[in-house]
Chain A
Amino acid sequence: MYEPKIIAYLCTWCSYTGADTAGIARLKSPANLRAVRVPCSGRVSPEIIMRTFDQGADGVLVLGCHIGECHYDSGNHRTAKRLPVLKTLMAYAGLEPQRLHLDWVSASEGERFSRIVNEFAESVRLLGPANYPVKSWAVHNVELPWAQSEPLDSLGFDIQSYAMREAAIRDYASQLLSESRVSCVIGYERSPRGRLRPAFIYTPEDASRLVWNPDCTHNLTLYLSEKIRDGGRAPGKKPDQNPASIGIVVKPCDSRAIQVQLAEQQIQREQVHIIGVTCEGIQAELDAYENQPVSGKARLQKRCQVCSERTPVVFDRLVGGTVSPELSGTDSYRAVDAIEALPPAERMEFWLSQFDRCIRCYACRQVCPSCDCPTCLYERDDSLWVGPASGSGGVGLNEARTFHLGRAFHLAGRCIGCDECERVCPMDIPISYLNRRLAQEVRERFGYTAGLAPVPSPIVTVLSREEGL
């Protein structure tokens, strides 16, 4: 008779003591329940939970103090917000959401403890053993529909106005630099080979290198903190004693990334001088051999086809007038719903087959303006919860899946959907579907969209007494 393996993370102040109370009263506990004592339910991070399922748990239970009774005041508030989001993510990755459960038990509630664990164990038993395999068992080609592209000109692209915006950017950048109002301008240029790439402009003369066209895909805000830290100095030169601010050319999506950085105080408003450019969309990548659009027709990037912001949300100078037509963008992909609609086992298989290709190059993380931890959890030498293995090595645990799911979780409520992570991935892993699913979740649960204002996501802020849970 199958007995589900349940791991219960119990906070030492309330629920662990509650378990003791249940034991003293000789109330029965499920046979395969193993308790892990933690200082606070807030300590139970997504990596710990994913590792628990990796190691063969059929169900994971997190029990904390009742809201308002946390020994650390608000630790359980964090859990209350984070765990439902994590549940959504894990369900999206193919694990039945009922296998992860969060509840509150106080020190004296032995009966409540007993009831919760027994009910949970029973519901997990009915689900059967967890299907959270380490490796995919087949290459699964799920056909996913997403918005069909239209040729550029049918969307009203005006090549003339691109040239005008380019000229305006050059003029303004040159002016800012000659007046020393900025120490440098981060923008776009063409390489000698003709590729579009980030440019760092330090002199008014060099501003003529700046360009603006439908290839300007990069989210340049990833360089902001770095540039501010070194005082905007040119390579080989000494930093200024009183450095001026950093100028930066941003598209509407990029400007939202700046709002997130401001909200989290990674940068201060006066340290950045924002040249916001209105945008009709960025071209999808060209074939390396042909230097031509893959389908023969110019194609918009996926993110642009569902974009709802054509004008930057924050700027010091706006380049370009109002953009028409405004798309009624939903910021969501049909593919996200299509994956959600798959049965759990197929969803699991889909994601495993994607993560199998991951070579842990970390380009997705490095290119993300919101991934700004000085040392990433996934690269620490002493990380107990995840290792450096890539997707398809002959090793015991699927670390690549943990990396991607964990990173997506860390970005919930912080990702602004520039999809650069997906563009740079050399292995074509559809990372955006994870991020967009969680953005949807945060919108529905908290009414919050990242980057519209310099206000942090409710997931990371402490619960106020007024927020109902």
Chain B
Amino acid sequence: MADNGSNPLKPDLGYIAEVKDLGAEIKLFSVKLLNGGSEQFNYYHPGQFAFLSAFGIGEAPFGIASTNERSDLLDFAIQRLGSVTTGLHEMGEGDIIGMRGPLGNCFPMDRFQGKNLIVLGGGIGGAPLRPVIHTVIDHRQDYGHFSILWAARHPSLLVFTDEYDDWGSAPDTELHLTVDQPDTKWDHNIGLITDLLERVAPSPENAITITCGPPIMIHFVNKMLVEKFGFKPEQNYVTLEARMHCGIGKCGRCNLGEKLVCVDGPVFNMEEVGQMLESYL
């Protein structure tokens, strides 16, 4: 047996404490561990993820969308796309699921202190960025100017809409919203996140960017930041996604070249990504 007799492939049991609709086919699950569960879930950091099991179907990785400072529940924003997410969507409050984690590395928030932060979230990709936003707002003096660029294909796919007022009204913070396709009630920006970024025109001086969204979005955002605004790749942080089956570096699936997204990531800066032989695209 592994040193402490634990089995890293065996999940802890948790139950769904709350389910909230976040958008079209997107729900927010707030989960509590049963019987205390593993110690590790008390100490997790922005950027980390966990495997959730819909028993009888399987398990899949999801970014943790909460901070343990604000909540003793673990939040997961889940979009219904495949068999596991469908299984989870069919569950309700009180239902039992499995949890393994927290896994992966995290955003180096300590290294971001004193810097201007620009956070860019696309669609469901915003979920792992929410703990970053909460951390910055809750420790506002530790960070410099804060810009949040939040995008989706359609207003129904924007996540955490009920928090936008809080985000936008934090000191020295600006919130920009954009959608590709507006609905009749939309009165913010229209266009891709790169159009928005062009208008916001952030300065690379003492700045860090954090992007999470579809691979193609990451690509074009980074391109613009580097080529148009003069950011160095190592100033641009991303969280990458890959199909995973173990999350602990054993099944070999999630590699990008010699890096494993589950243990060397999912948080990388674009300098590291540029060095990888293989493209995430």
Contacts and interface: CB of A to CB of B under 8 A. Distances in A.
Q: Do chains A and B interact in one complex? A: yes
Interface of A: 381-382
A381 B85 CA distance: 12
Contacts of B83: 381-382
B82 interface: yes
A321 B86 CA distance: 60
B77 to A, nearest CB: 21
Contacts of A382: 57, 82-83, 86
Nearest to A382: B83
Contacts, number: 8
B58 interface: yes
A382 B81 CA distance: 11
Interface residues of B, number: 6
Interface in B60-117: 82-84, 86
A393 to B, nearest CB: 16
B88 to A, nearest CB: 13
B69 to A, nearest CB: 36
B102 to A, nearest CB: 25
Contacts of B57: 382
A382 B56 CA distance: 11
A381 B83 CA distance: 7
A382 B86 CA distance: 10
Contacts of B58: 381
Contacts of B86: 382
Interface in B129-171: none
A399 to B, nearest CB: 15
Interface string B191-208: 000000000000000000
Nearest to A383: B83
A381 B82 CA distance: 8
A382 B83 CA distance: 5
Contacts of B82: 381-382
Interface string B48-63: 0000000001100000
A381 B245 CA distance: 12
Interface string B178-216: 000000000000000000000000000000000000000
A381 B58 CA distance: 9
A381 B57 CA distance: 9
A120 B139 CA distance: 74
B79 to A, nearest CB: 16
B87 to A, nearest CB: 9
8 contacts: A381-B58, A381-B82, A381-B83, A381-B84, A382-B57, A382-B82, A382-B83, A382-B86
A382 B82 CA distance: 8
B277 to A, nearest CB: 18
A450 B86 CA distance: 40
A382 B57 CA distance: 8
A140 B229 CA distance: 72
B242 to A, nearest CB: 16
Nearest to B86: A382
